[in-house]
Amino acid sequence: MQSVEVNYHVGRTLRLSWKLLPIVPLLLFLLGPYVTFVGKARPMDGWMDGTRQRLDVMYDGKHYFVTADALALWGLQASYDPAARRLMLSPDPEADREIAFNPVYYRDRVIVLMYHHIVESPEKRDGLPVSEFRRQMELLAANRFNVIGMQEFADFMVRGAPVPPNAVLITFDDGYESFYTLAFPVLKELGFPAANFLIVKWIDEPYGIPKLTWDQMREMQAYGMSFYSHSYQSHEYKPVNKSGRLKPALAHRLYLKDKNRRETPDEYRQRVLDDLTAAERRLREELGNRTGILAFPYGAYNEDLLLLSEEAGIELVFSTKEGINKRGQRVVYRVNAGSPDADAEGLMRRMQHALGHVPDIRLKVSFGEAEVVFPTARPFERDGEVWLPLGIMAETFGIRFQMDRENGNVIFF
């Protein structure tokens, strides 16, 4: 019985194979280029602007790869350091075409950087050394991040307006004078706008570390700097119960020692509204502000404070929570880039991966000071040759291509 069943299945398989036999040549014709291409280097002719170059192409089933010397057609020269496992690209001075380096790390999102005090010497531990701040700003420019101003950011978040790829907003808290003396010259040189959140009473009545003046702010407004509220006078910790427990004043009902009780909800509401509206009034009087924007002191907030901010006419609020921002978001996330031990290169790598996981790329590719990012296919080395994912490289350098496998041509334009 078992022998009969086996013979039945064998016979059925043979009959099906016989029926498919006539279409085998057609399948080989259609799939042949893929089957013979996968995992193997295939010599092809590369064409660009009438120039022909023999190059090797490889296909892994998803992505095309070319060797680094193929980039000569694009006007790039490549130098590989095998010890460092780094391929360095640069414009070929003899090429007659302009190199467009426009990597895309993320779209329709914005990374907001947060700074506080800038200091001259790395030995001072109360702020970010100006040398490190300059390094961060220069790397933003080299890696083609697009720095936008606060109004453009607000239009994106609140009104759904577009932003460029790799959009970044630069913010400072507390209104320190070092923004004018140390940060502003760097920002002005690079053409970057930035925003500073002021503890407004400390501008009217300077306290502690030297603060900005209204005249300095008006001067900087002409170069794209803008200034907003960090509260009027609520950037402090105050007791919230009889035992003296301290919490951020703007986000909590306070303990009233003279009355031996906490604020009522109505008292808290009135105090917060008075503070927020006082700050907005002074910003409007001195700087002509028309948009209410607030950075919560210490990043502390709750549902009550969010509602009171809306009641005070504030349309955008900033926290200190880390993350990337999408349009329509209620609270803005920020990345702390201003700690004394900040690492500019590490920050760039995180930003290039939209603050997500940074993969371990064993073979790195750079263009000048910029790192080329490979979110999907990775470069690799085989038999002394560096192979690069063609699609990612073409997008990064503004190149389009057409693959003609049948005739063995790759046409770049």
Long-range CB contacts for residues 50-58, cutoff 8 Å, separation at least 24: 55/410, 56/385, 57/390, 57/403, 57/410, 58/387
Cα–Cα dist 233/201, whole Å: 6
User: Which amino acid is residue 75, in one-letter code?
Assistant: G
Q: Do 197 and 97 share a domain, yes or no?
A: no
Given a cut of 80, is residue 251 above it in pLDDT?
A: yes
Please give the share of the chain, as a percent, with pLDDT higher than 70. Answer: 91
Query: Is the pLDDT score of 409 beyond 80?
Result: yes
157, 292: one domain: yes
State the average pLDDT for the chain.
Answer: 92
Residue 16 in this model has a pLDDT that exceeds 60: no
pLDDT band at 35 (very low <50, low <70, confident <90, very high): very low
| Domain edge (last residue) among 304, 325, 352 | 352
Whether residue 282 is found in the same domain as residue 156 = yes
Same-domain status, 143 and 262: yes
Q: Which of 352, 373, 399 is the last residue of a domain?
A: 352
Residues 66, 211, single domain; the answer is no
**204 and 266 belong to one structural domain:** yes
Residue-level pLDDT at 122? 82
pLDDT of residue 21: 58
Q: Do 29 and 77 reside in the same domain of the chain?
A: no
Q: Do residues 133 and 273 share a domain?
A: yes
Q: Which of 304, 319, 352 represents a domain boundary (last residue)?
A: 352
- Pair (252, 345) in one structural domain: yes
| In a shared domain, residues 67 and 175 | no
369 backbone dihedrals φ, ψ, rounded to 5°:
-90, 0
CATH number at residue 178: 3.20.20.370
Those residues whose C-beta lies under 8 Å from the C-beta of residue 352, and which sit 6 or more positions away, are 103, 105, 143, 371, 373
- As a whole number, mean pLDDT of residues 340-359 equals 94
Taking residues 322-339, what's their average pLDDT? 97
391 by DSSP, 3-state: which?
helix
| Mean pLDDT, residues 138-148 taken together | 97
- The pLDDT confidence band at residue 157, using thresholds 50, 70 and 90, is very high
CA 72 vs CA 51, 153, 385: distances in Å: 11, 39, 15
Residues 181 and 251 in one domain: yes
Instruction: Please report the pLDDT score of residue 40 as a whole number.
Output: 83
Burial class (CB in 10 A: 0-12, 13-18, 19+), 25: exposed
Structural domain including 391 reads: 42-101+359-412
Q: Kindly tell me if the per-residue pLDDT of 32 is higher than 50.
A: no
Q: Do 392 and 374 contact (CB within 8 A), yes or no?
A: yes
| Number of structural domains found in the chain | 3
97 and 228 inside one domain: no
